[in-house]
Amino acid sequence: MRQYCSVCKSEFDMEIIKQGSKEDVLWLKCPGCQGFLPHLRDEDSEANKSSEIVEEPLALEDLDVENAKEYSEDQVFVLGEVIHHRSWNDYGKIISKSTLPGNRKTVWVQFLRQGKVQLLEGVIS
């Protein structure tokens, strides 16, 4: 499946690793950075709208960037925490948390520039 990797900044033909139980998310493995990224289908579906995630535009002044925590997939984050994503040089705020099949923990982050992104957390390597 062709998918754009925002880490590698290019498109790859990615292997599908796992399909979520809700069937709205596919996990793809990027051959470039070996990272996993969710491929969301039906982004504007009814199911998605009724989810608890509320997308609100963020402004830099809304974020306490001085105390932002550096994002790393082995870290664990709390709701409302401000993070900095080094690869994207973008700041964001944790707006929701969820657990995927296989007990993979993720956080939804509202970034200033990237918008709403789902990232892994608590990965034990």
Residue 98 in 3-state DSSP? Answer: strand
Q: How many residues bind Zn ion (CB under 5 A)?
A: 6
What's the closest the beta carbon of residue 27 comes to Zn ion, in angstroms?
13
Token digits of residue 90: 């973008």
C-alpha to C-alpha distances, 104 to 12, 18, 47, 88, 90, nearest whole angstrom: 23, 11, 21, 23, 24
Pattern 32-61, Zn ion, x by CB under 5 A: xx----------------------------
Instruction: Mark the segment that binds Zn ion (CB under 5 A) among 19-27, 31-39, 48-56, 68-76.
Output: 31-39
Closer to Zn ion by CB, 30 or 95: give it.
Answer: 30
Closer to Zn ion by CB, 8 or 123: give it.
Answer: 8
Distance CA 69, CA 81 (A): 8
Tracing tokens 């830099």 back to the chain, one arrives at 60
Rule CB under 5 A: which residues touch Zn ion?
5, 7-8, 30, 32-33
